[in-house]
Each structure stands twice: as structure tokens, then as C-alpha cells.
Amino acid sequence: MDESQHTSAQGKTSRMIRTILVDDEPHACDDLKARIERDDAFSVIGTCANAFEAVRDINRERPDVVFLDINMPKISGIEMLAMLDRDHMPRIVFVTAHGEYAIEAFERNAIDFLLKPVNNDRLAVTLARLKENHQPQPAVVETFPTDLPFVPSYHGAQFFLG
């Protein structure tokens, strides 16, 4: 059995929910990672401190779920969604201290929205929802703006916006 699978108490083998966390606050990211990993159904396969890292890692790793901070330097979490491969869109859970983004997050078809500091009971509801359905999120495609303020590109190991 590979590391992306686990065995339940009933002896059934199931695929783990591959998760990436994106937050420019290291302590918030570490705390959320520790709390998500308490649930055996989830495997946190990466953490990213900004949208540049996140686009690279999400496109490379193809996670099932991304916990995404909205308010980040240079590119917000909502703007970052438009930079992802629309054919392999993971489930998105927005995590932010700014409740005023909730409506826009759900307009972007987020599966959930968590306010910081994240409440344990509320996180448990989100994880349960994700376990019910963590398949890619095709409906999110139609909600993106068509005009991006920047075009992301790589030059060697550097990531640029132009």
C-alpha cells in the first residue's frame, strides 16, 4: 500500500485526500496543518507561503483539496485561482481573517470558507464535507474573470508576473 492510501478501522483501504495549504502566515499554516493531519483521511502534501509557490505546487502535485488564504501579498487567493489548470481544479476551502470575502469565495464555488482563527468544530465540519466529496471541482471554471491583471510565467527557477 502506498502512502496515499490508508486502512480504516473496518479494514477497508481508501485513498487519502491529498491536501495543499497556502498561507503567508507560517504559524497559521503550521497550526492548520497539524490539525488537518489529525484526521487519518487527509495527507498534507505541501504548504506554500504565497500564490507563486502555490500555482507551481498545485499544478505539479494535483491535490484533491487546497486550503487557501485570501489576503496574501501581490496576488490574492481569489486572483490565484485564475492561474490554475482549469481541467484539474482541486476543491477550494478559503481560510481568512476577513469575513467580507465570504460571498465572493462562494461565487468562486469554494466548497467552504473558514474564518481565522479557525474553530476546531468548524474545521471538523469542513473535513467531513470534504470526505463526502473531494473530487475535482469542474464548475469553478465558469466563475473566473476572463481578464487577468498579470500573466504568470517562469524563467528558469524564477516566477514572474508580466
Give 21-61 pLDDT, tens digit per residue.
Answer: 999 999 999 999 999 999 999 999 999 999 999 999 999 99
CA nearest neighbour of 59 among 88, 81, 82:
88
When comparing pLDDT for 83 and 38, which is higher? Answer: 38
Q: What is the pLDDT of residue 139?
A: 47
Q: What is the pLDDT of residue 27?
A: 95
Tens digits of residue pLDDT in 137-158: 554 444 445 455 555 555 565 6
Percent of the chain with pLDDT over 70: 68
Given a contact cutoff of 8 angstroms between Cβ atoms, the answer to whether 74 and 51 are in contact is yes
Query: What is the band of 1 on the pLDDT scale with cuts at 50, 70, 90?
Result: very low
Fill in the DSSP letter of residue 65.
E
Check the CA dihedral 80-76-63-58 and report its sign: positive
Percent of the chain with pLDDT over 90: 49
Average pLDDT, the chain: 81
Cell of residue 40, nine digits: 487519518
User: What is the model's pTM?
Assistant: 0.76
Q: What is the pLDDT of residue 32?
A: 98
Q: What is the pLDDT of residue 37?
A: 97
